[in-house]
Amino acid sequence: MDEEEVDRILAVADADGSGEIEYSEWVIATINKANLLSDQMLITAFSLFDEDGGGSISPEEIKDVLGIGKSVDS
């Protein structure tokens, strides 16, 4: 996944245009899959991206978790 794709996902999920994905926006963005996932699974997944525990997901946190911009040694 490249940086443009991450930016597109952020733009779709960030309903209030704050530049970050709040927990409620995360739940709404994943609502179709929520039937398959428990509340605890959603909280765990959100927490994975919300690295600083601030209650929202910044573009930098998404890129960090997905490894965008990091070099991989082979």
The CATH number that applies at residue 31 is: 1.10.238.10
Inside any domain, residue 72: no
Inside any domain, residue 74: no
DSSP state of 22: E
Residue 56 and residue 61: Cα distance in Å, rounded? 9
Q: Is the pLDDT of residue 30 over 90?
A: no
Residue 55 pLDDT level (bands cut at 50, 70, 90): very high
Domain span at residue 24 reads 3-66
Inside any domain, residue 54: yes
Q: Is the pLDDT of residue 34 over 70?
A: no
Give backbone dihedrals phi and psi of 27, rounded to 5 degrees, phi first.
-65, -45
The pLDDT tens digits of the residues spanning 4-23 come to: 877 888 888 888 999 888 99
